[in-house]
Amino acid sequence: MAHSGVTLTDETLLGQPITLNNCDREPIHIPGLIQPYGFLLCLDEQTRLVVQASANTKSLLGHSPEDLLGGGLGQLMEPEQLLEVERLWPTVTEQSRLLGVRLERVRNRPYYKLVLHRYDGLLWVEGEPVAGNTVSAFDLPSLNLTLGRLLSATTTLEMCQVAVEQVRTLTGFDRVAVYRFAPDDSGEVVAEAVHEDLAPWLGMHYPATDIPKQARAMYLKNWLRFVADARYTPVPLVPAVRPGAPRPPDMTYSVLRSVSPIHLQYLHNLGSAATMTISLIEDGQLWGMITCHHQTPRLVSYELRDLCQFLGKTMSALLKTKQQYDELAYRQHITQTQTRLFELVSTQPNFVDGLHRFSPTLRDVFQTGGVAVCIEGEIFTVGNTPTTEQIAGLMAWLDEHMKGDEFHTDSYSRLNPAGLVLRATASGLLAIRLAEGPGDYIIWFRPEVIQTVTWAGRDDKVPAIVDGEVFLSPRQSFEAWKETVENSALPWLPMELEAAHEIRLYIADLRLKMFNEAVSKARALASLNEDLERSNDELDSFAYVASHDLKEPLRGIHNYSLFLLEDYADKLDEDGVHKLQTLVRLSQRMEALIESLLQISRVGRLELARKPVDLNEALADVLELLAPRLEQTGTHVRMPEPLPTVLGDVVRLREVLANLLTNAMRYNDRPEKHVEVGFLQPDSPLPKIHIDPAAYHTIYVRDNGIGIAPRHHEAIFRIFKRLHSQEKYGGGTGAGLAIVKKMIEKHGGTLWVESELGEGATFYFTIPKADPV
């Protein structure tokens, strides 16, 4: 990271107020100063004579700058070395190039490596002392391994992490991090390799003003910047402006160029005594930087820096491919999740359940905080969302302002001030309309950026006075703090908008299909109901006529059989008498069956005389009628509490109670027979059916008889269905429960049984309440 500042002595600021933009106007490319660990000679491109020299040549080379001016490199080199340099000049460009020879004629001083480049009409010769970490020969196996890891990284962030680890291994810096720029020029630390004693920077964000515009422009030209000792005192050039030049030389590509004093102050505040920064460039734009920091001064050799620059350039070349991988992976995630969601939705009886109840949900399709499904007056939420009341208010706003079927924003509060209270969950919105009318939406939410990021330091620079000069001071503290990035969420990506569009179309198609199917089913059902009603009427009529007409010939058969027994029994043998007795018995059973059929057909044809019925009185009438049978069988009937008043036909309800009590007596082989008649309170659980307790009473008749196996619970309500032989439990036609069921259904109620074999049975039926609902 870089930072710059200017003093009031700069002509660009004279008479102007100090603002954050002052840094953007500092001429950092022409400081006229170098770092003191090396020396600089500027040669005229035509004459190849020294026209400027750094003021430290006396201490480093034993020659004062004044002595060197006007002379050639022969003052410092052997003839063969000078010949090699002369041979290289035609091929030298603005990019720095390490010379293959060293200065060896400097008495009692270290050897110096020479770095050459050509720029601004000058030939630049820079000398660096030989560092202890010089790379004498490339470690090709290690380099091959590093390049292999960069190539094989499957994501951009993975490649960034590989890069910081390798650069730290090569250089030994305490901290190496990758700093990535956002579209607004702010930055984030996305990868880091750091000494265990240092606080991490990973995930921290920094404002755009940390790196001024002119610094960014330089970083695009010069891939690597290096400061060996941030506490250095800059060394000026002699003279500051060469004869005939309008300004100091442009030091954009100089290895030793002195950096802005504000940047040095910035490094002091970071606790960084040495730094190296490598540009990461994609398609001509500054994508980010590899930034290195050390707590003590550190001289990294030119060769090693050059190797790190090579890694930075390699990484830059791979950035586009890696980011395409990232985009492809995210697109595949969206597509696969969306496909699974559609499959899930298509299998649900209620498609809305498939959108939010199971996995994956709508929230999983793309990166979002939460989602709300608002349909047919109900709101279902998944994840981190506003409250139901807040979503209802948001829907009202969408009803009024949403144009078209899809809408998105990364700052809802800028469109609607009422959205300020939703920033923590819904600063960003993506909505799709599910119906033409108001109120049916799917809305995805994203929180305000401040909820998810950490900002380092403050983005406000205050004027500071140093040695009588006023300049913009960088932040004095770098403890993480939350900077208010007000009212904005992460923007919605085009692929996310496409996915939302596809979801809307899918749901629209699904609802249209469901509507068409429902219409077809409704028509078919209406037709079927008409046919069924007609068939039932015809069947009831047939059953009534048939049973009525069959009774007369059957009665004749029965009577003639009795006459034969009375008049001719003495003329028949024993077998003949037995057969006539069987004929009488069968004709009686046949008559009972016909009577049952006639009775059930009457139930289907009759019109109920509905009125309030006191079930206590109806039960008393039935008990009086059944008293002899109850006494004969030893059956005790009890009511735990008075029965309610219901709306129904009193005659038919008496028949219902009589049938159920008769069955309770008949199918009971215990010495003490008990029957309980009661009703359920509204809050009692009903395991079999769902009713409206405000509209219906649930009556029950419970006995301690032989019980009914669960597998027969449905069959016993079919006409003429008996679970036992004719000889057991008093016979009967098996039509009683079928008649009861039809009577209850005629009243709009339901009849069912709860029972286990050997544990008695409880028959429940629902009947409308007498009171208005």
List, for residues 474-500, the tens digit of each pLDDT value.
443 334 335 546 778 889 999 999 999
- 500-524 average pLDDT score: 79
HSE-up of residue 610 (Cα within 13 Å, Cβ side)? 14
d(CA 727, CA 731) in angstroms, rounded, equals 6
- Which CATH architecture fits 517-605? Orthogonal Bundle (1.10)
Model confidence at 217, pLDDT cuts 50, 70, 90, reads confident
Do the bridges between strand 224-227 and strand 645-648 make them parallel or antiparallel, or are there none, so unpaired? unpaired
pLDDT tier at 549 (50, 70, 90 boundaries)? low
Note the pLDDT of residue 478.
36
* pLDDT confidence tier of residue 167, bands split at 50, 70 and 90: very high
Residues 6 or more apart whose CB falls under 8 angstroms from that of 498 comprise none
Tokens of 594: 């016909």
Q: What b/e string do you get for 610-649 counting C-beta neighbours within 10 Å, with b at 16 or more?
A: beebebeebbeebeeebeeebeeeebebeeeeebbbbbbb
Helix (H) or strand (E) segment spanning residue 575: helix 574-605
pLDDT band at 555 (very low <50, low <70, confident <90, very high): low
Mean pLDDT of 79-91: 87
Amino acid of residue 557: I
pLDDT for 598 beyond 60 = no
For the chain, the structural domain boundaries read 20-27+134-234+252-327, 33-129, 336-457+485-516, 517-605, 611-768
The pLDDT of residue 676: 95
Judge contact between 63 and 57, C-beta under 8 A.
yes
For the cut 70, the answer to whether the pLDDT of residue 730 exceeds it is no
Question: Residue 507 pairs with which residues in a beta bridge?
Answer: none
Q: Are 443 and 371 in contact (CB under 8 A)?
A: yes
Distance from the first to the final alpha carbon of the chain = 76
Check pLDDT > 80 for residue 295: yes
CATH 1.10.390.10 fits 33-129, yes or no: no
Alpha carbons 533 and 563: distance in angstroms, whole number: 45
The first and second tokens of residue 581, run together, are 């007795």
CB atoms within 10 A of CB 726: 13
Please tell me the predicted confidence (pLDDT) of residue 468: 43
Here the tokens at position 387 are 């409250």
Q: Once rounded to an integer, what is the mean pLDDT over residues 344-373?
A: 89
| Beta strands 224-227 and 204-206, pairing class | unpaired
Alpha-helical (H) ranges within 89-191 are: 140-152, 156-171
Exposure class string for 662-700: b at 16+ Cβ within 10 A, else e: bbbbbbbeeeebbbbbbbbeeeeeeeeeeeebeebbbbb
Please state, in angstroms and rounded to a whole number, the distance separating the CA atoms of residues 429 and 402: 12
Look at residue 433 in the predicted model and tell me its pLDDT. Answer: 93
Q: What is the pTM of this model?
A: 0.62
- Smallest Cα–Cα separation from 131: which of 309, 297, 242, 3? 297
Spatial separation of the C-alpha atoms in residues 504 and 405, rounded to whole Å: 8
**Candidates 1.10.3720.10, 3.30.70.20, 3.30.565.10, 3.40.50.300; correct CATH number of 611-768?**
3.30.565.10
Number of other CB atoms surrounding residue 196 within 10 Å: 5
Does the pLDDT at position 409 exceed 80? yes
CA distance to 489, 666, 748, per residue, from 764 (Å): 59, 18, 14
- 336-457+485-516 has the same fold as 20-27+134-234+252-327: yes
What pLDDT shows up at residue 410? 92
**Token match 């619970």: residue?**
713
Span 392-400, mean pLDDT?
93
Residue 474 contacts residue 5 (beta carbons within 8 Å): yes
What residues contact 351, with CB distance under 8 A and at least 6 apart? 345, 507, 510, 511, 514
Q: Which of 381, 376, 418, 372 is nearest to 397 (CA)?
A: 418
- Is 268 in contact with 9 (CB distance < 8 Å)? no
Task: Tell me if the domain spanning 336-457+485-516 has CATH number 3.30.450.270.
Answer: yes
Predicted local distance difference test score (pLDDT) of residue 485: 62
Looking at domain 20-27+134-234+252-327, its CATH class is alpha beta
Check pLDDT > 70 for residue 172: yes
Report the percentage of the chain scoring pLDDT > 90. Answer: 38
Which of 537, 367, 338 has the alpha carbon at shortest distance from 452?
A: 367
Whether 578 shows a pLDDT value over 80: the answer reads: no
* Most confidently predicted of 302-311, 581-590, 675-684, 738-747: 302-311
Rounded CA separation 373/39 (Å):
69
Q: How far apart are CA 769 and CA 750, in angstroms?
A: 14
Task: Find the mean pLDDT for residues 712-737.
Answer: 60
Is there a cis peptide before residue 710, judged by omega within 30 degrees of 0? no
Helices 302-347 and 140-152 pack at an angle, to 10 degrees, of 30
Please return the burial class of 174, using the count of CB atoms within 10 Å of its CB with bins 0-12, 13-18 and 19+. Answer: buried
User: Rounded to whole angstroms, what are the CA distances from 315 to 135, 172, 215, 312, 716?
Assistant: 21, 20, 21, 5, 80
Dist CA 495 CA 498 (whole Å)? 5
Q: Rg (Cα) of the chain, in Å, rounded?
A: 49
- Structure-block tokens of residue 137: 């020969």
| pLDDT of 678 | 94
With bands split at pLDDT 50, 70 and 90, how would you rate the model's confidence at 416? very high
Show the CA angle centred on residue 768, arms to residues 705 and 534, nearest 5°: 95
Using DSSP, state whether 749 is helix, strand or coil.
coil
**Mean pLDDT (the chain, rounded):** 81
Per-residue pLDDT tens digits for 180-195: 988 888 888 999 999 9
Q: In the chain, how long is the greatest CA-to-CA distance? A: 166
